[in-house]
Each structure stands twice: as C-alpha cells, then as structure tokens.
Chains A and B, each alone.
Chain A
Amino acid sequence: MNGGRAGAGERDGGFLRRTWAMLVKELLQLRRDRITFATMILIPLMQLLLFGYAINTNPRNLPAIVLMQEESDVGRAILTAMRNTAYFSFVRQARTEAEFDRLIADGTAQFGVEIPANFERALRRGERPALLVAADATDPVATGSALAALNGLVRTALRRERGLPDEAPPASFEIRTHARYNPAAVTQLNIVPGLLGIILTMTMLIFTALSVTRERERGTMESLLAMPIRPVEIMLGKILPYVGVGFIQAAIIVGAGTLVFGVPIVGNLALLAALSTLFIATNLSIGYTFSTVAQNQLQAVQMAFMFFLPNILLSGFMFPFAGMPRWAQWIGEVLPLTHYLRITRGIMLKGTDLATLQYDTLMLAAAMLVAMTIAVLRFRQTLD
C-alpha cells in the first residue's frame, strides 16, 4: 500500500507552490460556479448599457422654466422652440427672479432659461449677449446634455425668427451657464471612466468578500487549516485569479466605451491597464479583508455594501469632488475609487502621465497593502 505512493518527494520554495495550489483551486471552482461566472460578464455589460443608454440618449421632457426680462420676438421664438422640442417639458413662465429661483430649488424645474433685458437689441448690435441658463446639475448626465441641446435649439430658433437659411451663421450670442449645486462641468465623457471604477469596485469587492466565509460555511476551512499553508498564501491564491477576471471586465468596459460611446483614450493605454490592475487588486484585498472579519457570507456582503456606498457618493463620481465639504473630501481621499477616478479621467480624457498621477497611484498601493496586512493579521488560523 505504501509502496504504491508515487511522487511523495518534497520540494522547497513552498511559498509559490502553495500559492499556486490555492490559485488553481480557486480557478477550478470559479469555472464550475456558473452563476458567478455569468455575473462577472453580465454585470459590467448590463451596467454599461444601462448607463450608456442614459449617456447616449438626449434628455427627454426635462422640466424647464423660462424667465423673460424683456418682451421681444427673439425671446418669444426661443420660448416657442423650447415648447416644441421633446428635450424640454415646458413647465411655466416665471414672472420674477425669485419665483425662478424657487422653482429650480424645489425641483419643479431642472432647467431654467433667463432671457435678460435688452437681449434682442444687444444681439442685433452683435454684442454677443448672454443667455442665462440655470441648471440643477445634481443630475449631471441629464443637465449636461440638455445644455448642449439648448445651444442648438436657440441657434435654430434665431435663424427661423429672422428667416435665414439653416446654414447661415446665426447672430452671435453666448450661453452663460450657472450649473447650480454642481459647479464642475460634467460631460458625458466623464461617465464612462467613472463607470469603469464603479463596476470594478462593486464586483471585485463581492468576489473576495465571499471567499473566506464561503470556506467556513461549507466546512472546507477545517481541512484547509489542517494543511501547512500560510494565511498569506491563502490570500494571494484567492485574490490573484480575480485580478485576471477584473482585468477582463475592465477591458470589456473600456472596449465598449470606446467602440459604442466614442470615449477617447487620449493617454497611454498600457498605463491605464497597469493602474487599473492595481485598482482591481486593491479592491480585491479590501473585499478579502471583509471576508476575514465577517462571521458569515451575509455579513460579508453587507460590509462590502457599506464600503461601496461612500465610494459612489464621495469619490467624485456622483458629485464633483471640489464641491464637497472638507470632511467629505477627507473621507473621499481614503477611498480607492476617488484616486482611480482621477487616474482614469486623467489618462482617458486628458492624457495625463504617471508622474502626474503618482500621488493617486501611491494611495492605491498603500490602501492595498494596508488591507492585505489587516487581512493576514485578522485571518483566524484556528477554529477557536
């Protein structure tokens, strides 16, 4: 019986070997778990399409008001144009400045156009008068593209009003936007890089948040702990396969964002890939840390969610970072997504290089190391 035992010889260099053993095991389990596998592909696609739809579709029926400080043909033409377009749903004409402000503040209207006094005369003189626009930008996707729509709409209205052909250069005017509650001009392009971070945060957190608790709940932890494997090896073996998964997700999102929504990648793609990998590993480490602290899978998911929320709210994805109160900014500074948003927006939209992003890169790396250290220290090596 003993004689038949093959390959019982030993080898050193156990660290890599055991980490590899864990990694292979995790990959095999991942392959078997159809639902998780489906989620991995479906979640990014679903979210991307969902948000992508919101990005691509011009806003419909955005409740709008108009304040006319002068009675002029130009003003009436603009009003008519706004009434007739599907972009805006004309709510009413405000009588006073105060009413105008109140309607936007209480949410009756998300969009207000103010035609200042002497607008028509200034326009005729070629003085480039300003059309004042107040937008409740708490919904930046909607208001962002409504502004673009308004621009075209007013130009057309002005041409019509003067009976000019469509190609003729219209009278020159300016739209002076006052994006209330959201001073940063959020454009559509900001969304896809942000979405990349959001989707990666959510999926990566959940993957590893379940990994240790799952072993405990299924009873396999007892065998695993009885084997000569270290907490670090278990951790790396469980994190590494998902780095690959996260990388594929990131590639899907960036690919679809570029192809479908025309988001550019101005900067270095390799740098984006490298820093995305770092971000993925950071979130996996944080999820894994939850997993070592939680008593069961439900708790782990709850922890992941509690962490996910501030990431969405305080990272600059929802609200512009600079517009947040200082305390919120401090919280935001320790969230990985905050730094990743700066990285993706920087690289994809502005072509920023690594030197400029080194602070954010270091913060991500630090967060990862802190999470891993806590996880290894917290990992219970006994069943006590």
Chain B
Amino acid sequence: MGSADDARADAPAPAAGPDVVIDVHGLTKRFGDRTVVRDLSMQVRRGQIYGFLGPNGSGKTTTIRMLCGLLTPDAGGGTCLGYDIRTESRAIKRYVGYMTQRFSLYEDLSVRENLEFVGRVYGLSDPVGAARAAIARLGLEGRSEQLAGTLSGGWKQRLALGTCILPDPQLLLLDEPTAGVDPKARRDFWNEIHALAADGLTVLVSTHYMDEAERCHAIAYIAYGVLLARGGVEEVVRASGLSTWTVSGVGLNDLGARLARTPGVDMVAPFGANLHVAGRDKALLEAAIAPYRSDPALSWRPDRATLEDVFIDLMSRAEDNFR
C-alpha cells in the first residue's frame, strides 16, 4: 500500500511493448544463509517459448517468483514487460499469468467459480461470459460445476492454464505445468502453448522433460542456483562440446561402473537397453573406451550428444563446483 507501485496499479498494457519481455541481471536470492539463486541473468524475447530446466531444488520456482514480484531479490534486478520487478510488481501482475507448481486454485470452488473469480479480480468486463468461453475452450463443459479439488491431475492443469490465460496476459510463467500429466494431454498442452506464442504471448516454462525442452525456442539450465547454459537446444548441445558413444550388449552395468572411474569419461548414463558414454575431450574419451571396443559382447557406435547427456554432465560438474 501507498508505494509508488500503486500509482501504476491500473497501468495501461505495455502497448507494442519492449521486444525483450524478461530482462533481468544478477538476480540473487538467499533464504537464511543459503543462496538459492546466484547472480542469475536472463533475457527472453517477445513470442519466445523459453524452457527453464534444472534439477530439483535448483531455484527454478524461486526465480519465477522473483520475476512476478512474489519474492524480493536480495541483489540484482531488471524488468518484466518493461516494468521494474522490484517496484512495479502490481503492473507486472496485471499482464502476467503465473501457473504455480502446486495447484493453487480454490479446491472448494467449482471450475466456473474459479474462472469467474479470476475474471472479476482482473476486472474483465464480463467475467461470467469470459468464464463460459474459457470452459468451452478448455473442453470442460461437462465439468463446469465440479469442484476444482475433485478434478483429476490433468484436468487441474488444464484449468490452471485456463485461468492463467483468461485475463489475456502478455507473459506466461508456467512452473512445471505438465508434471504428472499423461502424454496425450501433455502434447495438447504444448500445442496450445505454441498456438499462444504464435499469437505473440511470451512463455517461460519450467520442466523436467527433455522432449518438452526440445520444443522450446530457447532454454536455460540452472543448477544450485547458477545458470549454467542457455540458448537454442542445438546451441546448448554444441556448446557443451560433449562427444558421445552409445554401447549396447551384455554386462553393461559392470562396464558402466568401470568406465565412470576412467579418466576422459565425464558421464555414463543408461539409456534404455543402451549406455551413453560421454566426454568433453574427444581424444581422451576414445582412448578411455578403446580397451572395450574389441569386446565382441559389446557394440559401439558414435552418437550425437542428447540434451539429457548435456544436462547430466552439467549437473555433475555443478555438483563438484558448488557442493
């Protein structure tokens, strides 16, 4: 109350808007003496779908909360939709749809009532009509009177996304929107996000799924609060400089354990019936696997590093650096 912030509470939509929708520098957040996000900078352009990846507890949710004014950064700052994240959070909230990681709509309100509530808070001229339209669009007609708490996980996510986009935001912050959702629903979800982005909406989405990461225009990878890689998927893979071999055959468990201890091997990870062996130095890696290449029980094949390889490698290196 009473801050400069209030003056912009009903600020006009950032008309054409800046081309860089999220532009933050040096964001740092501490809880007690633990630094949860460290010196994080991020730029997201209008219309981009920006994937935000990282292991559990790496600070994704914390970062997203700082972007929409739910947490105050201890250091750093920047803008969201051109508004200062420290001082103009009310204006930001009007044009940002934030989908929380944990379902946070009112479980004791029906689908329709939740949508109408959001419509009213955002001051839509016809919240009832807007809610009805959203229900039709979400395919929730049969369930409009069902209590939100009794919806299945997938439907809850759909409803949560529906309430986020109801007030016509310009930026969506989606925190693991597809966790626990079946593959078909997940695909529909992503098709919808792409349709929204095509309309000019900017989307920052955190996820643990590699296939989702690959559907993003750009990704950022964060571990232990530090942004370790960012850019297009190809770019990130290339920048990692990881060479990879795929092995199949028998005794892979044993082999994996031995290889993991061999210098030149930076990452060993089982992939289905295969094993991915990767190293940042191509020559060293080849030397390391050379003794096993002649084993007739194994078949070796040079492979392109996957995003997952890159992330696992990044994570294990981050572990060395920050633990």
The answer on a CB contact under 8 Å between B9 and A222 is no
Digitize B79-118: 1 where CB-to-A-CB distance is under 8 Å, 0 elsewhere.
0000000000011011010101011111111000100111
The answer on a CB contact under 8 Å between A222 and B109 is no
* Bound complex: CA A11 to CA B107 (Å): 28
Chain A residue at minimal CB-CB distance from B65: A383
* Bound complex: CA A219 to CA B6 (Å): 25
Q: Is A60 part of the contact surface with B, judged by Cβ < 8 Å?
A: no
* Bound complex: CA A226 to CA B96 (Å): 8
The answer on a CB contact under 8 Å between B125 and A228 is no
* Bound complex: CA A313 to CA B90 (Å): 45
Q: Is B122 part of the contact surface with A, judged by Cβ < 8 Å?
A: yes
Say which residue of B9, B104, B125, B134 sits within 8 Å of A10 (CB atoms): B125
Say which residue of A6, A222, A383 sits within 8 Å of B129 (CB atoms): A6
Separation in Å of the B173 CB from the closest CB of chain A?
Answer: 9
A220/B1 contact (C-beta < 8 A), A6-B126, A24-B117 known = no
The answer on a CB contact under 8 Å between B130 and A7 is yes
Total number of B residues with any Cβ neighbor in A under 8 Å: 54
The answer on a CB contact under 8 Å between B126 and A25 is no
* Bound complex: CA A243 to CA B177 (Å): 39
Separation in Å of the A152 CB from the closest CB of chain B?
Answer: 57
Write the residues of chain A forming the contact surface with B, with a CB cutoff of 8 angstroms. Answer: 1-2, 4-12, 14, 17-18, 20-22, 24-25, 28-29, 32-33, 218-223, 225-232, 376-377, 382-384
Q: Among the listed stretches B68-76, B204-212, B235-243, B297-305, which one makes contact with chain A, having 4 or more residues with CB under 8 Å of it?
A: B68-76
* Bound complex: CA A23 to CA B237 (Å): 52
Chain A residue at minimal CB-CB distance from B109: A28
The answer on a CB contact under 8 Å between B90 and A228 is yes
Chain A residue at minimal CB-CB distance from B132: A6
Q: Is B283 part of the contact surface with A, judged by Cβ < 8 Å?
A: no
Q: Is B120 part of the contact surface with A, judged by Cβ < 8 Å?
A: yes
Separation in Å of the B191 CB from the closest CB of chain A?
Answer: 9
Separation in Å of the B71 CB from the closest CB of chain A?
Answer: 6
Chain B residue at minimal CB-CB distance from A13: B123
Tally of contacts, chain A with chain B, CB under 8 A: 130
Separation in Å of the B127 CB from the closest CB of chain A?
Answer: 7
The answer on a CB contact under 8 Å between B102 and A17 is no
Separation in Å of the A118 CB from the closest CB of chain B?
Answer: 75
Separation in Å of the B31 CB from the closest CB of chain A?
Answer: 9
* Bound complex: CA A28 to CA B105 (Å): 14
Which residues of chain B are near A18, meaning CB under 8 Å?
Answer: 120-121, 123
Q: Among the listed stretches B192-200, B246-254, B268-276, B285-293, which one makes contact with chain A, having 4 or more residues with CB under 8 Å of it?
A: B192-200
A-B pairs with beta carbons under 8 Å apart, 23 shown: A1-B195, A1-B196, A5-B133, A6-B132, A7-B127, A8-B124, A11-B124, A11-B125, A18-B120, A18-B121, A21-B121, A22-B121, A25-B106, A29-B109, A32-B147, A218-B107, A219-B100, A220-B104, A221-B104, A222-B100, A230-B1, A230-B6, A230-B9
A11/B106 contact (C-beta < 8 A), A222-B100, A223-B100, A384-B71 known = no
Q: A5-B168, A10-B123, A377-B1 are in contact. List 13 more A-B contacts (CB 8 A).
A: A2-B196, A9-B125, A10-B125, A18-B120, A21-B120, A24-B116, A33-B108, A220-B104, A220-B105, A226-B68, A228-B90, A228-B122, A382-B69
Chain B residue at minimal CB-CB distance from A30: B108
Q: Is B51 part of the contact surface with A, judged by Cβ < 8 Å?
A: no
The answer on a CB contact under 8 Å between A25 and B113 is yes
Which residues of chain A are near B130, meaning CB under 8 Å?
Answer: 5-8
The answer on a CB contact under 8 Å between B94 and A228 is yes
Chain B residue at minimal CB-CB distance from A17: B123
Chain B residue at minimal CB-CB distance from A233: B121
The answer on a CB contact under 8 Å between B192 and A9 is no
Say which residue of B93, B113, B137 sits within 8 Å of A28 (CB atoms): B113
Q: Is B119 part of the contact surface with A, judged by Cβ < 8 Å?
A: yes
The answer on a CB contact under 8 Å between B120 and A2 is no
* Bound complex: CA A231 to CA B1 (Å): 7
The answer on a CB contact under 8 Å between A7 and B103 is no
Chain B residue at minimal CB-CB distance from A33: B108
Q: Is B167 part of the contact surface with A, judged by Cβ < 8 Å?
A: yes
In order of increasing CB-CB distance, the 10 nearest A-B pairs are: A21-B120, A7-B126, A6-B133, A7-B130, A223-B104, A226-B98, A8-B168, A9-B125, A2-B199, A228-B93
Separation in Å of the B175 CB from the closest CB of chain A?
Answer: 10
The answer on a CB contact under 8 Å between B104 and A14 is no
Chain A residue at minimal CB-CB distance from B191: A1
Separation in Å of the B86 CB from the closest CB of chain A?
Answer: 11
Separation in Å of the A304 CB from the closest CB of chain B?
Answer: 22
Chain B residue at minimal CB-CB distance from A223: B104
* Bound complex: CA A25 to CA B121 (Å): 10
Say which residue of A8, A11, A377 sits within 8 Å of B167 (CB atoms): A8
Q: Is B308 part of the contact surface with A, judged by Cβ < 8 Å?
A: no
* Bound complex: CA A29 to CA B110 (Å): 10
Chain B residue at minimal CB-CB distance from A21: B120
